[in-house]
Protein backbone atom coordinates (compact mmCIF):
# COMPACT_ATOMS: atom_id res chain seq x y z
CA UNK A 1 0.00 0.00 0.00
CA UNK A 2 1.29 3.57 -0.66
CA UNK A 3 2.66 5.14 2.52
CA UNK A 4 4.48 8.45 2.93
CA UNK A 5 6.15 9.49 6.17
CA UNK A 6 5.12 13.06 6.98
CA UNK A 7 5.81 14.80 10.29
CA UNK A 8 7.02 11.46 11.61
CA UNK A 9 3.72 9.72 10.80
CA UNK A 10 3.49 6.86 8.30
CA UNK A 11 0.54 8.16 6.29
CA UNK A 12 -1.54 6.03 3.96
CA UNK A 13 -2.73 7.67 0.77
CA UNK A 14 -4.11 6.73 -2.59
CA UNK A 15 -5.14 8.31 -5.89
CA UNK A 16 -8.26 7.77 -7.92
CA UNK A 17 -10.00 9.37 -10.87
CA UNK A 18 -9.15 10.08 -14.48
CA UNK A 19 -9.86 13.79 -14.66
CA UNK A 20 -7.48 16.59 -15.63
CA UNK A 21 -7.99 18.60 -12.44
CA UNK A 22 -6.02 17.68 -9.34
CA UNK A 23 -7.96 17.54 -6.09
CA UNK A 24 -7.22 16.60 -2.47
CA UNK A 25 -10.02 15.18 -0.29
CA UNK A 26 -9.87 15.28 3.53
CA UNK A 27 -12.17 13.00 5.53
CA UNK A 28 -14.16 13.47 8.74
CA UNK A 29 -13.33 12.21 12.23
CA UNK A 30 -13.91 8.51 13.00
CA UNK A 31 -13.75 7.68 9.27
CA UNK A 32 -10.99 7.27 6.66
CA UNK A 33 -10.30 7.98 3.01
CA UNK A 34 -12.68 5.12 2.19
CA UNK A 35 -15.56 7.39 3.19
CA UNK A 36 -15.00 9.29 -0.07
CA UNK A 37 -15.85 6.20 -2.13
CA UNK A 38 -19.39 7.24 -3.17
CA UNK A 39 -18.40 10.82 -4.00
CA UNK A 40 -15.14 9.97 -5.78
CA UNK A 41 -16.97 7.42 -7.92
CA UNK A 42 -19.27 10.15 -9.25
CA UNK A 43 -16.39 12.58 -9.84
CA UNK A 44 -14.11 9.91 -11.32
CA UNK A 45 -14.01 11.29 -14.87
CA UNK A 46 -13.65 14.90 -13.73
CA UNK A 47 -10.94 14.85 -11.06
CA UNK A 48 -7.56 13.30 -10.32
CA UNK A 49 -8.06 12.83 -6.58
CA UNK A 50 -5.59 12.28 -3.76
CA UNK A 51 -7.12 10.71 -0.65
CA UNK A 52 -5.31 10.25 2.63
CA UNK A 53 -6.00 8.85 6.09
CA UNK A 54 -5.42 11.13 9.06
CA UNK A 55 -3.37 9.80 12.00
CA UNK A 56 -5.20 7.11 13.92
CA UNK A 57 -7.64 6.58 11.06
CA UNK A 58 -7.79 4.00 8.32
CA UNK A 59 -4.32 2.62 7.53
CA UNK A 60 -2.30 5.55 8.84
CA UNK A 61 -0.17 5.14 11.97
CA UNK A 62 -1.66 6.09 15.33
CA UNK A 63 -1.49 9.59 16.78
CA UNK A 64 1.08 9.62 19.58
CA UNK A 65 -0.54 12.62 21.33
CA UNK A 66 2.69 14.63 21.42
CA UNK A 67 1.33 17.30 19.07
CA UNK A 68 -1.94 19.15 18.65
CA UNK A 69 -4.08 16.89 16.51
CA UNK A 70 -5.40 19.45 14.03
CA UNK A 71 -1.96 21.03 13.65
CA UNK A 72 -0.54 17.61 12.79
CA UNK A 73 -3.30 16.81 10.31
CA UNK A 74 -2.84 20.19 8.64
CA UNK A 75 0.90 19.64 8.23
CA UNK A 76 0.32 16.20 6.76
CA UNK A 77 -2.39 17.39 4.37
CA UNK A 78 -0.17 20.25 3.20
CA UNK A 79 2.47 17.74 2.14
CA UNK A 80 -0.04 16.11 -0.21
CA UNK A 81 -1.00 19.29 -2.04
CA UNK A 82 0.19 19.05 -5.65
CA UNK A 83 2.38 21.64 -7.29
CA UNK A 84 0.38 24.61 -8.44
CA UNK A 85 -3.23 25.06 -7.41
CA UNK A 86 -5.70 22.27 -6.67
CA UNK A 87 -9.33 21.78 -5.78
CA UNK A 88 -9.53 21.17 -2.04
CA UNK A 89 -12.50 19.28 -0.59
CA UNK A 90 -13.06 18.57 3.10
CA UNK A 91 -15.81 17.08 5.21
CA UNK A 92 -16.49 17.91 8.87
CA UNK A 93 -13.12 17.90 10.69
CA UNK A 94 -11.41 17.52 7.31
CA UNK A 95 -13.14 20.71 6.20
CA UNK A 96 -11.57 22.61 9.10
CA UNK A 97 -8.15 21.39 7.95
CA UNK A 98 -8.98 22.43 4.39
CA UNK A 99 -9.98 25.91 5.57
CA UNK A 100 -6.69 26.28 7.46
CA UNK A 101 -4.74 25.31 4.34
CA UNK A 102 -6.64 27.79 2.17
CA UNK A 103 -6.06 30.50 4.76
CA UNK A 104 -2.34 29.76 5.07
CA UNK A 105 -1.59 29.29 1.36
CA UNK A 106 -4.43 30.64 -0.79
CA UNK A 107 -2.28 30.46 -3.91
CA UNK A 108 -2.32 26.65 -3.68
CA UNK A 109 -6.12 26.34 -3.67
CA UNK A 110 -8.09 26.81 -6.89
CA UNK A 111 -11.46 26.06 -5.29
CA UNK A 112 -12.51 25.14 -1.78
CA UNK A 113 -15.44 22.89 -0.85
CA UNK A 114 -16.32 22.76 2.84
CA UNK A 115 -18.91 20.09 3.59
CA UNK A 116 -20.44 20.47 7.06
CA UNK A 117 -17.33 22.23 8.46
CA UNK A 118 -17.35 21.82 12.24
CA UNK A 119 -15.51 25.08 12.91
CA UNK A 120 -17.80 25.97 15.80
CA UNK A 121 -15.89 29.18 16.50
CA UNK A 122 -17.40 30.64 13.30
CA UNK A 123 -20.83 30.44 14.93
CA UNK A 124 -19.66 31.58 18.36
CA UNK A 125 -17.97 34.68 16.90
CA UNK A 126 -21.38 36.16 16.09
CA UNK A 127 -23.44 34.29 18.70
CA UNK A 128 -21.41 33.63 21.88
CA UNK A 129 -24.51 32.13 23.51
CA UNK A 130 -24.29 29.17 21.13
CA UNK A 131 -21.32 27.74 23.02
CA UNK A 132 -23.65 26.80 25.87
CA UNK A 133 -26.12 25.27 23.41
CA UNK A 134 -23.39 23.16 21.84
CA UNK A 135 -22.03 22.02 25.21
CA UNK A 136 -25.54 20.97 26.22
CA UNK A 137 -26.04 19.12 22.93
CA UNK A 138 -22.94 17.01 23.59
CA UNK A 139 -23.42 16.69 27.34
CA UNK A 140 -24.02 12.94 27.27
CA UNK A 141 -20.94 12.51 25.08
CA UNK A 142 -18.76 14.43 27.52
CA UNK A 143 -20.14 12.53 30.51
CA UNK A 144 -19.36 9.19 28.84
CA UNK A 145 -15.80 10.31 28.12
CA UNK A 146 -15.34 11.42 31.72
CA UNK A 147 -16.27 7.98 33.01
CA UNK A 148 -14.11 6.22 30.40
CA UNK A 149 -16.98 4.56 28.51
CA UNK A 150 -15.71 4.98 24.97
CA UNK A 151 -18.48 2.94 23.35
CA UNK A 152 -21.14 5.09 25.00
CA UNK A 153 -19.22 8.24 24.03
CA UNK A 154 -19.08 7.13 20.39
CA UNK A 155 -22.78 6.27 20.47
CA UNK A 156 -23.72 9.71 21.80
CA UNK A 157 -21.40 11.46 19.35
CA UNK A 158 -22.75 9.66 16.30
CA UNK A 159 -26.30 10.30 17.44
CA UNK A 160 -25.59 13.99 16.74
CA UNK A 161 -22.95 13.83 13.99
CA UNK A 162 -23.55 10.42 12.39
CA UNK A 163 -25.48 9.26 9.34
CA UNK A 164 -28.81 8.85 11.10
CA UNK A 165 -28.50 5.14 11.83
CA UNK A 166 -28.94 4.02 15.44
CA UNK A 167 -25.71 2.94 17.15
CA UNK A 168 -27.03 -0.61 17.50
CA UNK A 169 -27.64 -0.81 13.76
CA UNK A 170 -23.99 -0.21 12.88
CA UNK A 171 -21.76 -3.24 12.19
CA UNK A 172 -19.79 -4.47 15.19
CA UNK A 173 -16.45 -3.72 13.54
CA UNK A 174 -17.49 -0.13 12.81
CA UNK A 175 -18.63 0.43 16.40
CA UNK A 176 -15.35 -0.90 17.80
CA UNK A 177 -13.27 1.28 15.47
CA UNK A 178 -15.26 4.39 16.33
CA UNK A 179 -14.92 3.70 20.05
CA UNK A 180 -11.17 3.24 19.63
CA UNK A 181 -10.85 6.62 17.87
CA UNK A 182 -13.32 8.66 19.89
CA UNK A 183 -10.59 10.15 22.13
CA UNK A 184 -9.36 12.11 19.11
CA UNK A 185 -12.59 14.12 18.97
CA UNK A 186 -11.99 16.10 22.19
CA UNK A 187 -8.33 16.41 21.15
CA UNK A 188 -9.49 18.93 18.53
CA UNK A 189 -11.72 20.88 20.93
CA UNK A 190 -9.50 23.97 21.09
CA UNK A 191 -8.94 24.04 17.32
CA UNK A 192 -12.64 23.84 16.52
CA UNK A 193 -14.05 26.01 19.30
CA UNK A 194 -11.54 28.85 19.25
CA UNK A 195 -10.06 30.92 16.43
CA UNK A 196 -6.38 30.18 17.03
CA UNK A 197 -5.31 31.34 13.55
CA UNK A 198 -7.30 34.59 13.64
CA UNK A 199 -9.30 33.58 10.59
CA UNK A 200 -12.49 35.14 11.96
CA UNK A 201 -10.97 38.53 12.70
CA UNK A 202 -11.84 41.38 10.32
CA UNK A 203 -10.08 40.62 7.04
CA UNK A 204 -8.86 37.26 8.31
CA UNK A 205 -10.33 35.29 5.41
CA UNK A 206 -10.39 38.12 2.88
CA UNK A 207 -7.33 36.82 1.02
CA UNK A 208 -9.05 33.46 0.39
CA UNK A 209 -10.33 34.66 -2.97
CA UNK A 210 -11.01 31.32 -4.67
CA UNK A 211 -14.62 30.18 -5.09
CA UNK A 212 -15.84 28.49 -1.91
CA UNK A 213 -18.75 26.05 -1.67
CA UNK A 214 -20.37 25.64 1.75
CA UNK A 215 -22.47 22.47 1.91
CA UNK A 216 -24.84 21.41 4.67
CA UNK A 217 -27.61 18.88 5.10
CA UNK A 218 -31.12 20.08 5.83
CA UNK A 219 -31.37 17.61 8.72
CA UNK A 220 -28.07 18.55 10.35
CA UNK A 221 -28.01 20.28 13.75
CA UNK A 222 -29.01 23.95 13.51
CA UNK A 223 -25.52 24.90 14.60
CA UNK A 224 -24.15 23.83 11.22
CA UNK A 225 -26.17 26.44 9.38
CA UNK A 226 -24.90 29.10 11.79
CA UNK A 227 -21.30 28.02 11.21
CA UNK A 228 -21.80 28.43 7.47
CA UNK A 229 -23.48 31.78 8.08
CA UNK A 230 -20.35 32.97 9.88
CA UNK A 231 -18.01 31.67 7.20
CA UNK A 232 -20.08 33.05 4.32
CA UNK A 233 -19.98 36.53 5.84
CA UNK A 234 -16.20 36.47 6.00
CA UNK A 235 -15.23 34.75 2.74
CA UNK A 236 -14.77 36.77 -0.46
CA UNK A 237 -16.56 34.39 -2.86
CA UNK A 238 -18.77 31.91 -1.00
CA UNK A 239 -21.98 30.22 -2.04
CA UNK A 240 -24.26 28.04 0.09
CA UNK A 241 -25.97 24.76 -0.74
CA UNK A 242 -28.41 22.85 1.46
CA UNK A 243 -28.96 19.21 0.49
CA UNK A 244 -32.55 18.28 1.22
CA UNK A 245 -33.07 15.27 3.47
CA UNK A 246 -29.38 14.94 4.32
CA UNK A 247 -27.63 14.99 7.66
CA UNK A 248 -24.02 15.43 8.65
CA UNK A 249 -22.77 12.52 6.54
CA UNK A 250 -24.12 14.10 3.37
CA UNK A 251 -21.13 13.28 1.10
CA UNK A 252 -21.80 9.59 1.76
CA UNK A 253 -25.60 9.49 1.89
CA UNK A 254 -26.18 12.03 -0.91
CA UNK A 255 -22.99 11.70 -2.94
CA UNK A 256 -24.55 12.39 -6.34
CA UNK A 257 -26.15 15.64 -5.23
CA UNK A 258 -22.98 16.87 -3.56
CA UNK A 259 -20.89 15.89 -6.60
CA UNK A 260 -23.14 17.92 -8.90
CA UNK A 261 -22.70 21.00 -6.71
CA UNK A 262 -18.93 20.54 -6.64
CA UNK A 263 -18.79 20.14 -10.41
CA UNK A 264 -20.83 23.32 -10.85
CA UNK A 265 -18.29 25.14 -8.69
CA UNK A 266 -15.32 23.73 -10.59
CA UNK A 267 -16.69 24.80 -13.96
CA UNK A 268 -16.44 28.42 -12.82
CA UNK A 269 -12.66 28.30 -12.52
CA UNK A 270 -10.16 28.86 -15.29
CA UNK A 271 -8.58 25.43 -15.79
CA UNK A 272 -9.60 23.72 -19.04
CA UNK A 273 -11.65 20.62 -18.24
CA UNK A 274 -14.19 18.41 -20.02
CA UNK A 275 -17.51 20.19 -20.21
CA UNK A 276 -19.93 17.29 -20.39
CA UNK A 277 -22.65 17.24 -17.76
CA UNK A 278 -22.51 15.08 -14.67
CA UNK A 279 -24.01 11.62 -15.16
232-268, pLDDT tens digit by residue? Answer: 999 999 999 999 999 999 999 999 999 999 999 998 8
**Could you count the other beta carbons within 10 Å of the beta carbon of residue 166?**
10
Kindly give, in sequence order, each residue whose CB lies less than 8 Å from that of residue 48, ignoring residues fewer than 6 positions away.
15, 17, 18, 19, 20, 21, 22, 23
pTM: 0.94
Return the pLDDT at 198.
96
Q: What is the CATH number of domain 3-127+198-266?
A: 3.40.50.1820
Sorting pLDDT into bands at 50, 70 and 90, what band is 157?
Answer: very high
- CA dihedral sign, ordered 274, 272, 264, 112: positive
Contact 231, 238 (CB under 8 A): yes
Region 89-109 average pLDDT: 97
Amino acid sequence: MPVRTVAGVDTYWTRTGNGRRKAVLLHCSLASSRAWGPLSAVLDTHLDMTLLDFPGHGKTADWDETRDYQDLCTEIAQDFLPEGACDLIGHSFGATVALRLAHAMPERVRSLTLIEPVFFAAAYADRPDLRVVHDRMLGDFSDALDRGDMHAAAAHFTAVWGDGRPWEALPDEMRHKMAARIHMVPASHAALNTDRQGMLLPGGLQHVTCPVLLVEGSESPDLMSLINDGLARRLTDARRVVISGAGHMVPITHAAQVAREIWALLQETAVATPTRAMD
